[in-house]
Structure 1
Amino acid sequence: MAQQHHDLTDSAAGPAAPPVTGEALAGYLRGQATEFLRALRLHRETGGGPSGSGGGTADAVDAARALRRSARRISASLHTFRPLLDPGWSEEIRPELAWLSGTLALEHACESRLDRLLLALHRLSGATTVPTQTLGTGTGTGAGTAVSATAATTAATTATTTTTAQRTAPRPTPDRGNLTVGAAKAGALLDRQLTLARTRAHSTALQALGSSRFHAVADKVAVLASEVPLAPHAATTDPRPLAAAAEERLTDAVAALPLVTAGHPYNAEALIHGLSPDPAPHPQDAPWHQVRLLLRLHRYALEVLQGDDAPLGIRLLSAGQALDRHRDASEAAAAAAHAARTPRIAPATAYALGVLHADQRHEVEAARYAFQRSWQKQTIGTGTGTS
């Protein structure tokens, strides 16, 4: 039975909301631009050292995260509400903000991916302890590669959650002896590759932040903090239909997902394809990544209408967490597959990487299953025609 579109905020019905105009968008953009400039100032004061390398600080990491956060929100709002903005200005700055947030996200992504893969290797090889040495301080020589205690705790919680969601799904059952032999070398190989990628990403981010391209973006954001170039009709136009259109795109994209397949705890087709030697991105992942993007656009549109401090509904929260796990596991599986294609590695190392790859593809399926269960459960709870 077709599902009707519904409010994803899980908010209870209340009194009629006051009129909303383009001024709400202007206020939101000014606030995000101010946050951007504040984060940029903090980043410069802290020197923007690389996270986890001994040269950075918690403040530098927080500043980079805040820069990404505000850049994403400004860019997303310009996309969703572009009819309310000066079209020339909006189309000029929006891709530049997307470039900036994507560039700044690469270093963190490499570090998180390495944490995830090393913890999975320890789990799969039956290790009883997880090293507590900070990542990035070594050179990737052997089993000394480690994850921080905080990252280990977080990843362990994620692994427990996805395993619970998957429940009856068959998990990889590796040969412990062969895996233990290869796990140390596989971990060292992953450490070398991903630490190198992270170092390059950090250098790229520093170059980007010192480029004329970035300075042009920062200048535009500085102007945005005080003056938003709205279209002439924006002051009397209700932005809620544009936000509703963003929700509609999300709902349609979710409806196009293979939720029937994801409803089964074990998707053999996805796993078989994932184990193929084809280095191309997994064909089943792209629609889920697109839903994650549309969910983020919908969330930011709600922030424009309700304020960025508005409570996040349980539906959006659980769906977003499942899709984040899906993205992380998908990219981790790709990193394991890439490492397994390294020439002249030992058979035991290749075996460990193959088991690791299969494990992360199982995590992908677990995340899809968790998303499907959460989405349909909330739909049933809203009484929108499902039974």
Structure 2
Amino acid sequence: MPRISSVLALLLIGTFATAACGDDGSGTQGEASGAKLTMFAFSSSPAEDSVLRKAVDDYNQQGRNTVELKVLPEYDTALTTALAGGQPPDVFYVNDNKLPDLGKNGALEPIGDKVDNPGDFYDTLKQSFTYQGTYYCAPKDFSTLQLVYNTADFTAAGLQPPTTWDALTAAAKQLTKPGHPGLVLNPEFYRWGVFMAQAGAWPTDDAVTKMTMDTPQMRTALQYVADNHKAGWFGTPAAVGAGWGGEALGKGLTSMTIEGNWIVGAMKNDFPGVKYAVAELPAGPAGKGTMSFSVCYGVAKASQHKAAALDFVKFLTSPDEQFAVTKEFPVMPSRKSLADKWLAGKPELKAFVSGGDYAKKSVFVPGFSTVVDTLTDGIQGLAKGNKQVDEVVTGTQQAGESVLR
């Protein structure tokens, strides 16, 4: 995910505030039609670039406004520079984990509730793009994490997708062989977090006002994954010579991984001969749990064409346009009403969509990235076996309390 340095973002507060002076905050400043807009986007794949360019062309052909699309390889640098210079793009991608910083710094015009039928978006996604009670931008699509497994390996072992932690451990043990742990997953919060959710734990309370690492549920989650690593039934991509879980699965270095629906394109392009399936992650002591990831269409607070920018975002988030964009590659519509229609052509991906109803958002508050880094460092130690659960809990709790204070 593209990231904007939180330190640099804080330095830009004055710039954002100055650029926004004179705006009435209504989101209607500038022309409603006849405007020339600029949109910044980052590339996830050639397929997404192509459908996004077509969407922009379709909008331009309507004749209300003209949008110049810039798909930028150095997205963070370009966006930060534009914001700092007071000449930001009118519309730009905002990663969910950067929304708090941009919201705090006054970079965004709040348009979340101004698109058509805002209640149609998944609540978790709306929460991801809400900061201090303000819903800033509508999500363009989303992904969740689920269990992706090699069907041939499962058939040979006589296994069905596990539905409980005990069953996951048993399956991983049965599928493990030298140099081939049964399950491979990245040692980081953005993967291990699913086990926290399944145990009824999370690093903070829902309001992100206090740390909640120091709980029996958190210890249960971390100990469960650490124990499976110690036994050799779970492994990391690096330990098997892979860059990520999808590569490990594709190269036959594991039989299971925990990844998002972006794995579909990677498997199609890089490992077309590997047969795999997707199942919802096994339930833990507190039930089902996963994490969601999303990007929204942000409108710059300093834009001189806010009404036109909002018109463009309404077009992009309309049901017809969102379905046209998401059907071409495996990100999922952020509108609940499109789920069945989208799945009609991709029934094998149902588990990813189902996760949207119970996924935890991976968004905290400005400056919290250092806490996530601390937790991930601890998780890496647990995976290697050189740290203890209590050490990770205490260290992350203290790091988070410092930030939240």
TM-score, L = length of structure 1? 0.25
Q: Which has the higher strand share?
A: 2
Indicate the structure with greater helix content. 1
